[in-house]
Amino acid sequence: MKLPPGIKYFILAGVVGLVATFLIHRYITTKTAIPVKPTDQVVVADLDIAPGTELAARMLKTNQWPRDIVPSKAVRNPKDVEGRVALVPISRGEPILQSKLAPEGTAAGLGGLLDPNKLAVTVRVDDVSGVAGFINPGDRVDLLVEMPAPEKGEHFSKILLQNLKVLSKGQIWDQTAEKKPQVVTTVTLEVTPEEAEIVNLATNQGKIRLALRNQLNQGQFFTKGVMSSQLAYRRPAPATPEAPAKAAEVNVEVIKGMQRSSAQL
């Protein structure tokens, strides 16, 4: 069959168009394709978990995380941590890490959070002495006491204990002098046996207050304390005198006849 004149040019143009379309599609697909990164299974919390809580299957779930951001101590199988006790608060969606769990065999509850050589002491606080509710488990606090001084009419304030770990906070029911129940806020602190004795005496001899400290601050404050009579005579620290500002130098060009020179003012 004889093809009409010029038809071969239409066929050639169609073939070239198909090839060009295929190459353009392949180029765009290659440039816009999202690379598939390898993933690993990670166990995460399915709800907020409080310190001292024993982990159960209903609290956990598994997610696929990119392999390059999976923490080194992440748990891969929920059965590996069932029955373990959380040492710190774990938020929903947060990966379960071995470093956040107490050793195997630790019983649930506050006792599982304690250092083997330390004790848990609970103190009463209010909205003021408890830093307006901003203290949470895991925070670090200093304990201050205000008590009567040996001098008549004097009161003494001093930082007694520093860098204490907060184990928990809660509320208890108490009765006032009118036999009316009221809610009292409490904070439980981790202390050494010697510190427990100090806290016990301070809470009975005066008023205590907690001061929240920065988590990165592990140092000690050295203070002499303050008497109530000293408050009226305390002077602000003298300001460091500032050096007088140096006048800016200005260069001036001087022209005398055919000569030029510069001078500073």
Whose tokens are 């620290």? That residue is 237
Assigned CATH for 39-105: 3.90.1210.10
Enter the tokens of residue 250. 């200005």
What six digits make up the tokens of 184? 């009292």
DSSP letter for 200, please: H
Alpha-carbon distance values, 141 to 116, 138, 164, 198, 214 (Å): 20, 10, 5, 15, 9
pLDDT given for residue 256 in this prediction: 67
**pLDDT for res 63:** 92
Low-confidence ranges of the chain (pLDDT < 50): 172-177, 181-183
The pLDDT, as a whole number, for residue 61 is 94
In this prediction, residue 190 carries a pLDDT of 92
Report whether 158 contacts 147 (CB < 8 A).
no
**pLDDT (0 to 100) of residue 135:** 81
- How is residue 86 written in tokens? 């959380």
pLDDT at residue 154, as a whole number: 85
Residue-level pLDDT at 244: 60
pLDDT of the residue at 108: 80
What pLDDT does residue 177 have?
A: 47
Q: Can you give the pLDDT at residue 182?
A: 45
Residue range 64-111, pLDDT digits in tens? 988 888 888 899 999 999 999 988 889 999 999 998 898 888 778 777
Cβ burial, residue 198 (10 Å; 0-12/13-18/19+): middle
Return phi, psi of residue 30, to 5°.
-65, -40
pLDDT of residue 175: 45
Check residue 107 and give its pLDDT.
Answer: 78
Residue boundaries of the structural domains of the chain: 39-105, 114-233
